[in-house]
Structure 1
């Protein structure tokens, strides 16, 4: 799948070391094309207040586009700053 810059994408799998989990929504901020490798994307993930949680470079196969069947949810983490 080809994702446009600044489009929303949904993470397929967990990346616990970054505090990211399947279903988290991020924004594509860069596309990476490397010969003979899968296209990669730098994706920025935010909290509900707009603060950056993580920026990860991920292969396209780790992402999907949102659909009408998707609904945003809230997951509170233990180590948040008030």
Structure 2
């Protein structure tokens, strides 16, 4: 549990994160990589922007900390 809290605290605005769930209402899938644009309540949640490869915004979605994870070295 302490490890999870440490990882959550590491995510900051403009960090890229990996989606850990499917969001079919936005046509987004687990594993999609996107950018945090706002951190809520010290990492309890995030506003995450999803864009196409050519830079067009698809959606900005509010997510709980368990719905994203930081990008690791692996």
TM-score, length of structure 2 as denominator length: 0.81
Select 1:61's aligned residue among 61, 66, 69: 66
* Aligned equivalent of 1:32: 40
Unaligned runs of 5+ in 2: 1-7
- Between structures 1 and 2, the one with greater helix share: 2
Root mean square deviation, CA, Å: 1.6
> What per-residue deviation string (whole Å, max 9, x for no partner) do you get for residues 31-68 of structure 1?
1119xxx7110000111101111110000111111123
Name the count of aligned residue pairs: 66
- Between structures 1 and 2, the one with greater strand share: 2
Q: State the alpha-carbon separation in 1 of the partners of residues 29 and 17 from structure 2.
A: 13
- Greater relative contact order, per chain length (Cα 8 Å cut-off, separation 6+): 2
**CA shift at 1:16, angstroms?**
0.4
TM-score, length of structure 1 as denominator length: 0.74
Secondary structure of the structure 2 residue equivalent to 1:26: strand
